[in-house]
């Protein structure tokens, strides 16, 4: 499999996943009472990490490699968007998930999770769009 096809596969997987999270999963958290959410949330974060982390790592390594080997404007834009996703994930989303696990009232954390996740949703959508546009160039 060539790198361009691998890039589209990984970018499609992450884009699809983030749209599911943004439209279905995170808004669904708002319907849980605190007790039930705390029971489910730890299971959810463990399971979703098993799916997301290998994809995110693969995408990061791929975009670093492409930026080094091709050094095109598009490869640097893609890498910048991927790095932005990592920053939002680890500086905004992960701390909000930690608040859901620890705070007595998590309503504000849940709402902020939905609101701030749009940054990752848009970024991963743009990453996929760039991959599709550049496929075969």
Tell me: the pLDDT tens digits for 58-110?
999 999 999 898 888 888 999 999 999 999 999 999 999 999 999 899 999 99
CA distances (Å), 89 to each of 52, 103, 104, 134, in order? 11, 20, 23, 26
**Mean pLDDT of all residues belonging to the chain:** 94
Confidence of residue 1 (pLDDT cuts 50, 70, 90): low
* Cα(53)–Cα(49) distance, integer angstroms: 5
pTM of the model: 0.91
């Amino acid at each position: 499999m060539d790198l361009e096809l691998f890039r589209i596969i990984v970018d499609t997987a992450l884009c699809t996943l983030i749209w599911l999270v943004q439209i279905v999963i995170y808004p669904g958290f708002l319907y849980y009472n605190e007790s039930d959410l705390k029971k489910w949330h730890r299971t959810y974060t463990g399971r979703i990490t098993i799916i997301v982390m290998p994809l995110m790592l693969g995408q990061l390594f791929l975009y670093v490699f492409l930026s080094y080997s091709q050094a095109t404007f598009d490869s640097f834009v893609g890498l910048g968007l991927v790095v932005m996703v990592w920053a939002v994930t680890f500086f905004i989303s992960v701390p909000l998930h930690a608040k859901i696990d620890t705070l007595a009232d998590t309503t504000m954390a849940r709402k902020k999770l939905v609101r701030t996740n749009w940054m990752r949703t848009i970024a991963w959508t743009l990453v996929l769009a760039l991959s599709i546009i550049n496929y075969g160039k």
